Structure 1
Amino acid sequence: MSKDTFPFTSTSLRSLRLEQELQDWEDARRALAHRRAMTRDPLPRAPRPPRQQRLQQVRAPPSQVRCRDTAVHNTFMCGDMKGVYAVLKDPAMVNALMETVQEEMLWAPEMAGMWTLSSKAKQTSALRLAAGSGHAGCVEELLFRGAEVNDDPGGNTALHDACVGGHAVCVRLLLSHGADPEGAAADGSAPLHLCTSVQSFQCAELLIAAGADVCVRKRESRLTPLHVAARRGLEAHVELLLRHGADVLATNQEGETPLNAACSAAERPSEAGRYLRVVEKLLGAGADPRTAGRKQHTPLHNACANCCPRIVDVLLRRGAKADVANCAGYTPMDCLLQVVEDYPGQQPEDIARSLLNHGAKPVPPKMLKLCVLSPATLEVMLNSYTCLPPCEWVDSLRTETYEEFRPFLDLVRQRSAQPRSLQHLCRCAVRVRLGSRCFPAVSELDIPNSLRDYLLLSPDGTLR
């Protein structure tokens, strides 16, 4: 062996080869960056020949690369930059169409009503995969190499995916490279419609700063971003949209306002607080609590159906009608009684009191059975009658239910169909006289708190 040579192992040779390829790749990137930096404005176009002298040039569109390799998909989804550099050695991969095939169970009525395993192809792009996963470095590299920022394979653009994930850095990059802040997805959603999480607040700010219309509507449902934010209970989003001119009175295809959307979505007791704050912001911006949808369902109907005492109280104080019926003939009190069994621990008696103190009529006696799991609610309802109605339904209750609430149910059975005290009759007379003004009028009276609570049907466990 010559003294001028040095023995290399196969591992050493491969390491040197990879190092040389990486160095060549960096040199190419630097050269490309230098050429872009040194590019000047193009010279003005030469004058075009007269129309009759022009020759029509027809160019075939370049064929688009399709990639079904899941390893390549995962490279962009995981933000593996070394893998990204390796894939992008082929410039055509920048805007390649990424295709995935998934097996899904589909219902096939034509096959005697059987579930069949069917292959469904979905399309996306490298830019969408990176933006949807929040890998800003990968997004920047793809944009630097000429990725089409508004390309929408599969129906969404990269900006839509970044907003869904709440990735503000990716949103900023895409907007700075010309992404359309109002571009519609296949389902008609604008990027603002897809800011549906707390993490997406900064994304919404960037979109609005880029000129996105805060009153943009979804194509079919006619939903505005304010509808979506209110339904999600996003306080900061609602405040941001209202501050930039969102229409608080806008109605969707069903005729519902953002206020109705917020009241209908407040289903979980743990989320009632933030939905209450959203409702207060909407009312403060001019929302009308009496606006009903096509089925004549008002925000008060929805709040009662979700058993939200504080929201019901706010709506009634802002002018909601306690005795209005929807297209099925149900009043807000009817909606409440239908869910008392589902929310016995959510103070349904407070909602019943608020409705009765703002003009709601006493319910038919046959509906009192629906309140049995909430004795306080049953007491409030019974105290709205001048005479205690017959309560034969007590005898039909299950033994375990009766035993659980025996003290009060024994009192109901004992007083069933019996006349009430003169004190109670006076209370009823005052309430009838005041009507829907009962709550504000009694609240202003200079009387002891105990008497005020008595007039406003505060439960005390007795039936006098």
Structure 2
Amino acid sequence: MSRDTFAFTSASLRSLRLEQELQDWEDARRALAHRRAMTRRPLPAAPRLRHGNERIQTVRAPPPQIRCRDPAIHNTFMCGDMKRVYAVLKEPGMVNALMETAHEEMVWAPEMGMWTLSSKIKQTSPLRLAAGRGHSGCVEELLFRGAEVDADPGGRTALHDACSGGHNVCVRLLLDHGADPDLLAVDGNAPLHLCNAAETYQCAEHLVTSGALVNVAQRDSSLTPLHVACRRGLEDHVELFLSYGGDVTAQTQEGETPLNAACAGAERPADAGRFLRIVQKLLAAGADAQTAGRKKHTALHNACGNCCPRIVKLLLEHGARADIANCAGYTPMDCLLQVVEDYPDQQPEVVAQSLLNYGAQPPSPRMLKLCLLSPATLEVMLNCYAVIPACEEWLEDTPEELLKEHQSFFNAVRRMSGQPRSLQHLCRCALRRHLGSLCHFAVVQLNIPSTLKDYLLLHNDGQLR
């Protein structure tokens, strides 16, 4: 084969064809730009001097913005090294220079049918670099030299970065120099939305005292800062926002309220106390425990899904409906049964008692097998039936160590399966059925011994009668 030829494979031909198409497109674009330039109207004539001694005011265009890709200069502002900062700022244009960082990423090119290496440019500014890392001295120097406080290269301002990092001194400096506390970033977040950790409390306090809108909505999801604080369990933030008029009835695009967000965020048992106090604050501020989202999912559904006994009881006391179903047909009881295996030590039996005492219907017998890892919960469920349903099949799945630990209880379940219960139990079932959703309120007011009240309200005693 000659040195002046090469093999024309399908890939090489496709590449040549794409290159030719790109060149044709560029030629057409240039021709269009030329035609537009030639058809523009001429500029008006310059004004003439009347007496010959006037001066025409000239307007000078601002100097072009400096673009800097030098990592050493970037690090100067990121580290807050004031000696080097002074050296860099000897060039006045560096105060508002556009800091660019190039990242090589693999992207899919559908027109070529392959992955290609593409260069992505990320932009920021000296003020953003310094504020995002809490270098207040550097921030103050940049502001003194005329840095644009609301400049948002890369889609965020220095105030967003300072709030995200919890740097309250920088936040105060930026606000004092006129930073807009309600400016939305390109992702739709206001600075208050980024105060989403415990260490950002002072940042949030500076913002609201400077007039930031406490109910500002995220552009896409309509989340308010109160939603964010409730979901993260930030008790101090919640109290701050409520004191400045935070709206407890605000709903996101999905219809979620701050109360629903708080109940959904209480996932870890260690954080249950914090979220309980937040729920108390929201209810005291007028939150409605019955409000459901677009999918008819209520705060009670979320609290039961996280197995939070005290929150569940509090919601029921404030009017939450124990028998309401979401759009998927799940009731709060169904949400509880699905997580009993995940929270056997989180008192799921107390949640079950509260739901049943406030009007929840007993679960289907085929759902009882979900309570195997919590015999106390299984006891509460079985005491809702006038006759213990057949259980031989699902009892076989009980772990051996659990059977040994609760041998007498499981023996009683097997023995009484399908058998009529005691007259005392049948009277309890009849009375509870008559009272319905008012069972808890009515039984508490009865003038009867406390032990009998506990019996009527399904408190555990480890026995089946």
TM class, shorter-chain normalised? 0.7 to 0.9
Q: Deviations over 1:264-317 (max 9, x none)?
A: 111111111111111110000000010000000000001101111111111000
TM-score, normalisation: structure 2: 0.84
Label 1:298 to 1:112 Cα distance change in 2 as closer, same or farther (>3 A). Answer: farther
One-letter amino acid of the counterpart of residue 226, structure 1: L
Any idea what SS the aligned residue of 1:256 has? coil
Whether contact under 8 Å (1:149, 1:177) holds in the other structure is yes
Distance (whole Å) between structure 2 residues aligned to residue 459 and residue 272 of structure 1? 23
**Counterpart for residue 10 of structure 1:** none
CA apart distance, 1:396: 3.7
Q: Given the superposition, is the C-alpha separation of residues 373 and 444 from structure 1 closer, same or farther in structure 2, using an over 3 Å criterion?
A: same
Deviations 1:39-91 (A, max 9, x none): xxxxxxxxxx99xx998967544211111222221221111111211211211
Partner of 1:22: none
Q: What is the one-letter code of the residue matched to 1:133? A: R
CA RMSD of aligned residues (A): 2.4
Aligned to 1:41: none
Aligned residues: 413
Contact 1:369 1:393 survives alignment (8 Å): no
1:438 aligns with 2:436: no
* Structure 2 counterpart of 1:151, one-letter code: A
Letter of the aligned partner of 1:373 in structure 2?
Answer: L
Moved more, 244-253 or 388-397: 388-397
**1:166 alignment partner in structure 2:** 166
Map Cα deviations across residues 190-234 of structure 1 (whole Å, 9 max, x no partner).
Answer: 111111111111111111111111111111111111111111111
Corresponding residue number in structure 2 for 1:394 = 394
Residue type of the alignment partner of 1:308: C
For residue 306 of structure 1, what is the aligned residue in structure 2? 306
Provide the rounded CA distance (Å) in 1 between the counterparts of 2:425 and 2:132: 65
How far apart are residue 410 of structure 1 and its match? 2.5
Q: Is 74-83 or 299-308 further displaced after alignment?
A: 74-83
Residue number in structure 2 paired with 1:63 = 64
The within-5 A match list for 1:112-123 is 118-123=118-123
Whole-Å separation in 2 of the counterparts to 1:171 and 1:200:
10
1:332 counterpart = 2:332: yes
Partners of 2:339 and 2:55 lie apart in 1 by: 76
1:72 aligns to what SS in structure 2?
helix
- In 2, the alpha carbon distance for the partners of 1:100 and 1:210 equals 33
**Match runs of 1:149-228 below 5 Å:** 149-228=149-228
Which letter does structure 1 place at the counterpart of 2:209? A
SS at match of 1:149: coil
Contact 1:394 1:413 (C-alpha < 8 Å) held by counterparts: no
Deviation at 1:405, TM superposition (A): 5.2
Task: Tell me, in whole angstroms, the C-alpha distance in 2 between the residues paired with 1:342 and 1:103.
Answer: 43
SS class of match (1:133): coil
Amino acid across the alignment from 2:457: L
Task: Report the equivalent of 1:369.
Answer: 369
Aligned 8 A contact 2:373 2:398 in 1: no
For 1:93, the equivalent position in structure 2 comes to 94
Pick closer, same or farther for the CA change 1:357–1:127 going to 2, 3 Å: same
Question: What is the identity, as a one-letter code, of the residue corresponding to 2:326?
Answer: N
Partner of 1:246: 246
Seen in structure 2, the aligned counterparts of structure 1 residues 395 and 453 have a Cα distance that, compared at 3 Å, is closer
Deviation at 1:433, TM superposition (A): 1.5
CA contact (8 A) 1:402 1:409 kept: no
Distance 1:55 1:74, change over 3 A: same
Alignment partners' CA distance in 2, 1:101 and 1:91: 24
Once the 2 structures are TM-superposed, how far is the Cα of residue 400 of structure 1 from its aligned partner?
3.7
CA deviation map 1:232-268 (0-9, x unaligned): 1111111111111111101110111110111111111
Instruction: Write the distance in 1 (CA, Å) between the matches of 2:300 and 2:261.
Output: 11
Q: Which secondary structure does the structure 2 equivalent of 1:174 belong to? A: helix
Tell me which residue corresponds to 1:124.
124
Aligned position for 2:7: none
Whole-angstrom CA distance in 1 between matches of 2:127 and 2:329: 52
Q: Is 1:461 the equivalent of 2:462?
A: yes
| TM-aligned CA distance change 1:158 to 1:269, over 3 Å | same
| Residue range with higher mean Cα deviation, 135-144 or 404-413 | 404-413
Superposition pairs for residues 3-42 of structure 1, below 5 Å?
none
**8 A Cα contact 2:387 2:417, kept in partner:** no
Equivalent residues of 1:394, 1:409 under 8 A apart: no
TM-aligned CA distance change 1:399 to 1:220, over 3 Å = closer
Amino acid in the other structure paired with 1:161: D
Is the contact between residue 369 and residue 395 of structure 2 (CA under 8 Å) also seen in structure 1?
Answer: no
Amino acid at match of 2:181: P
1:427-462 CA distances to partner (integer Å, 9 max, x unpaired)?
Answer: 111111211111122122232222111111111211
Cα offsets for 1:318-338 (capped at 9, x unmatched): 000000000010000000000
1:420 paired residue number = 421
- SS state of the match for residue 122, structure 2? strand
Structure 1 stretches lacking a partner, 5+ long? 1-48
Q: Distance in 2 between matches of 1:250 and 1:73?
A: 41
8 Å contact from structure 2 (residues 109, 116) kept in 1: no
1:12 matched residue in structure 2: none
Question: Structure 2 CA distance, aligned partners of 1:112 and 1:325?
Answer: 51
Aligned-pair CA distance for 1:406 = 5.2
* Residues in 2 aligned to 1:152 and 1:67: alpha-carbon distance in whole angstroms: 16
Greater alpha carbon shift after TM alignment, 169-178 vs 439-448: 439-448
| Superposition deviation, residue 113 in structure 1 | 10
Deviations 1:131-158 (A, max 9, x none): 1111110100110111110000011100
Indicate the larger mover: 252-261 or 119-128.
119-128
1:101 aligns to what SS in structure 2?
strand
Query: For residues 385 and 172 of structure 1, what CA distance do their matches in structure 2 show?
Result: 63
Quick check: 443-452 or 190-199, which moved more? 443-452
SS state at 1:397 partner:
coil
Give the letter for the 1:286 counterpart.
G
Structure 1 residues 225 and 333, CA, compared in 2 at 3 Å: closer, same or farther?
A: same
Deviations 1:176-195 (A, max 9, x none): 11100111111111111111
CA distance in 2, matches of 1:286, 1:341: 34
The answer on 1:82 being equivalent to 2:111 is no
Q: Larger deviation: 272-281 or 54-63?
A: 54-63
1:449 counterpart letter in structure 2: S
Please identify, of 399-408 and 388-397, the stretch whose mean Cα deviation from structure 2 is larger: 399-408
State which drifts further: 360-369 or 242-251. 242-251
